[in-house]
Amino acid sequence: MDNVTGTRSPAPEVDEHWMVNRRRALKWLIRAGYGAFALAFALPALALRALSQQQSEVASGDPLVYASNAGGGTAGQPVMASDLAVGDGIQAFPQGKDDNQTNLIQIVRLGDGEGAEGLVAYSAICTHLGCVVYADLNQDGNIACPCHNSQFDPTAEAEVTGGPADRALPSIELSVTPEGIISVAGRFSGPIGPS
Amino acid sequence: MTDQRGPAVPPVTIMPASEVRPGGRAAPRTAPRQVPRTGEGRRVAAPRAAKRDASRAGWVEERLDVTGLNAKYGRKAFPVHTTFFLGEMAAFAFIILIVTGIYLGLIYIPSSAPVEVDGQELPEAYASVRLIESIPVANLFRNVHHWAAHVMVLATLLHLIRIFFFGTYRRPRELNWIIGVVMLILTLVAGFLGYALPFDSYAVTATGIGYSIARSIPWVGNVAAELFFGGAFPTLGSLPRLYTLHIFVVPALIALTTAAHILLIVKNKHSQPGYARKLAEPGRVLGVPAWPYQALLAGQLFLLMFGALFILSALFEIHPLAAYGPPGPGTPAVKPDWYLLWVYGFLDIVPASLTLTTPIGTIGPQFIGGIVFPGIIFTLIFLAPWLDRTNRGRDVPRFEYLQPPAQAPVRLTIGVGFLTYIGMLFVAGYHVELGLSIAQTWYLSLIVPAVVMAATYGIARQRDPAWSRRFDPSAEEEDEEVLYVEAPRGDQ
Ligand code: FES
């Protein structure tokens, strides 16, 4: 550059005001450019959230099968009404729908009876933070959660009797087929798990 | 004190502390032997072999200006004190995590899709971790990775506690305090994200709880949870997302904040133990130069940690897959690792009745226990520099020296009370096992810290000199041989 010595070639006449405004406008344009750049990266993330796969849901009439080998059953085998003695609790999936953990159903026998009489069923997903409750009732006869020790009373619509959960487990109607297999007869009484 | 340093090291003025006039400028005992600087002058007189060396050094010098670089940064003084290594330990643990993580990432498959292994249907991720476990060296690295994660959290935490109790978060280092707390949070997040990867029963449970907590945030919860967990956890979208966050996004943020943290240390200069006040004038840092002494010490520390972690991992297997097995329909009784146990403890005892229905949604105990409460804790930590009364007022322009805890009884009391409360939340996490009711746990978690605080304050107010000196770094290391006073900027 030849104006290192400090001498400047005389600047052409310009409208100072216009220069300042133009510079400010350009600054804003650059800022807007950065903003658009950031948005262009941030917004697609919203589209990414919907990658959940389609999951099955409980439907009325689904026969129930043992969820695991615990409690005297065999995973995948149908649950018979006669399998449960009074005070027993077991966990079951609607047949063929064990891909979705929230379909897990907790069955408890409260008393003897024909068919579905004496049986109650609730969602096995704790309403606190979504853990699966223990299949076996605890010594107070409550359904208990292993995670933060929430407790639900199976004799009273699974109302909360202890711990941090703030909502009862949703219940679901049962029926028993002529062969004695327990099946679902309705829908959950409320949203499953924490919500 | 002979000069045994190699010719590549520029002259470092080293003097025993006895030579340093109290409160005055450092004066060299005798003129230390001037090692010729690499560069023009030296090349002329050097014999043949040295000449070759010099020309090689000259080649590098010409391109990288090592001498200039060394003069600018290699002479940065590092105060010497045992507790000044905690931050370095965290950084080294991070490096070890990256190195071992690379090996694990070469084998691990972030997919929860079922695959058949030995006639058993397993999530692919679980199967790949089983493969890792079956390769001895990979298994060793997996254990080192897990142990190093604990060390990183612990070192970060101890570093923060040290900074707090000595009051060095005060002016002008508030920003670095904030960056440091952000780094702690990032470290916890990285640890939590790592929980999910083995995809065993424990992983699915712990991550599922995290997912439910995220979802409990009013209004934005669903979007945020689905964004970070790739849909309703556990779903096929979950592992790729958590994996990317665990191995790239969060470590990149940790690296960035580490760089900012170090930059600010250089900018603000080290805070230093009080003894420096007697040996160097204000504004100067007394310590060992970054190169070679601090580098040597840090290098030794790194190798020591590296060795210790491998020994630890070889002797104590941590979280083997078989401990919990593949995810099944049930939930094992799990508790998070110690560094998240306090949140777990609070979640355990937050009363269910704490539910508010607001126009934008319900605020349940999950949100209060899992988000609001840790949020309050971290906000308090963030605000420490502004809550500290001694940081107000302008009578001290900059706090350059560590303030021994005994000289700041209020800070000591609050800090100890805070830590005790967090400790009581660990107890809350085990209240069922300990046979405590929720009400009893609440009383305990409030009364014990109160008692401890009262006792601490009482003791600290006595200002028993013998007791207070134990925690006063100004009482130590006065005859340290290698200490030198950093030259002020622009002197070189
Ligand atoms: S998830 Fe059941 S008590 Fe927390």
Angle at which helix B295-315 crosses helix B136-165, to 10 degrees, equals: 130
Residue closest to A178 by CA, chosen among A90, A112, A109, A116: A116
Give me the CATH topology for the region B68-374.
Answer: Cytochrome Bc1 Complex; Chain C (1.20.810)
Flag the least confident range among A109-118, B2-11, B27-36, B122-131. B2-11
Annotated domain spans of chain B: 68-374
Count CB neighbours of B244 within 10 A.
Answer: 14
One-letter amino acid of A127: T
Lookup: tokens for B16: 């025993």
Whether residue A58 contacts residue A188, with contact meaning beta carbons closer than 8 Å, is answered with: yes
Q: How far is the CA of A149 from the centre of ligand 1 (A)?
A: 6
pLDDT, tens digit (0-9, with 9 covering 90-100), for B311-345: 999 999 888 998 898 888 888 888 899 999 999 99
Q: A82 to chain B nearest CA, in Å?
A: 23
Say if residue B383's pLDDT is above 90: yes
Separation CA B375–CA B373 (nearest Å): 5
Element (H, E) at B137: helix B136-165
The answer, for B113 touching chain A at a CB cutoff of 8 Å, is: no
Q: Do B205 and A147 touch (CB under 8 A)?
A: yes
Mark the ranges of chain A whose per-residue pLDDT is less than 70.
Answer: 1-14, 49-53, 71
Q: How far is the CA of A130 from the centre of ligand 1 (A)?
A: 6
Ligand 1 touching residue A131 (CB < 6 A):
yes
Mean pLDDT along residues B41-68 = 74
Mean pLDDT along residues B442-467 = 84
Phi, psi of B166 (to 5 degrees): -100, 5
**If you take atom 1 of ligand 1, which residue's CA is the nearest one?**
A129
Phi and psi based region of residue B317 (left: phi greater than 0; alpha: psi -120 to 50; beta: remaining): beta
Separation CA B382–CA B180 (nearest Å): 9
Q: How far is the CA of A133 from the centre of ligand 1 (A)?
A: 8
pLDDT, tens digit (0-9, with 9 covering 90-100), for B58-104: 888 888 888 888 888 888 888 887 788 999 999 999 999 999 999 99
Phi and psi based region of residue B38 (left: phi greater than 0; alpha: psi -120 to 50; beta: remaining): beta
What is the residue-wise DSSP string for B32-68? Answer: PP-PPPSSHHHHHH--HHHHHHHHHHHHHHHHH-HHH
Say if residue B52's pLDDT is above 60: yes
B490 by Cβ neighbours in 10 Å (0-12 / 13-18 / 19+) ranks as: exposed
pLDDT, tens digit (0-9, with 9 covering 90-100), for A82-132: 888 888 899 999 988 888 888 999 999 998 888 788 899 999 999 999 899
| Confidence bin at B406 (pLDDT 50/70/90) | confident
Q: Residue B116 pairs with which residues in a beta bridge? A: B121
Half-sphere exposure of B432 (CA within 13 A, CB side): 18
Separation CA B179–CA B256 (nearest Å): 10
Whether residue B75 contacts residue B13, with contact meaning beta carbons closer than 8 Å, is answered with: no
B412 by Cβ neighbours in 10 Å (0-12 / 13-18 / 19+) ranks as: buried
Whether residue A118 contacts residue A144, with contact meaning beta carbons closer than 8 Å, is answered with: no
Give the pLDDT confidence score for residue B484 in this predicted structure: 57
Which residues 300-359 of B have a C-beta within 8 angstroms of A? 328-334, 344, 347-353, 355
What 3-state DSSP class applies to B356?
Answer: strand
Angle at A94 between CA A191 and CA A76, to 5 degrees: 140
The mean of the pLDDT values for chain B is 83
Whether residue B349 contacts residue B443, with contact meaning beta carbons closer than 8 Å, is answered with: no
Length of chain A equals 195
Q: What share of chain A is helix, strand, coil (3-state, %, to 5)?
A: 25, 20, 55
Q: How many CB pairs under 8 A join A and B?
A: 111
Lookup: tokens for A185: 């007869």
Flag the least confident range among A76-80, B192-196, B443-447. A76-80
> Per the omega criterion (within 30 degrees of 0), is the bond before B292 cis?
yes
Half-sphere exposure of A173 (CA within 13 A, CB side): 7
Whether residue B150 contacts residue B116, with contact meaning beta carbons closer than 8 Å, is answered with: no
What 3-state DSSP class applies to A78?
Answer: strand
Half-sphere exposure of A147 (CA within 13 A, CB side): 29
Which residues 367-396 of B have a C-beta within 8 angstroms of A? 369-370
Give the pLDDT confidence score for residue A9 in this predicted structure: 63
Give the residue numbers in A contacting B (CB under 8 Å), as ranges: 45-46, 48-53, 55, 67-68, 70, 91, 93, 98, 101, 104, 128-135, 145-150, 160, 162-166, 193-195
Whether residue A58 contacts residue A105, with contact meaning beta carbons closer than 8 Å, is answered with: yes
pTM above 0.90, yes or no: no
Phi, psi of B422 (to 5 degrees): -60, -40
One-letter amino acid of A8: R
**If you take atom 3 of ligand 1, which residue's CA is the nearest one?**
A148
Ligand 1 touching residue A163 (CB < 6 A):
yes
Quote the DSSP letter at residue B21. Answer: P
| Confidence bin at B1 (pLDDT 50/70/90) | very low
Phi, psi of B50 (to 5 degrees): -65, -30
Separation CA B221–CA A39 (nearest Å): 21
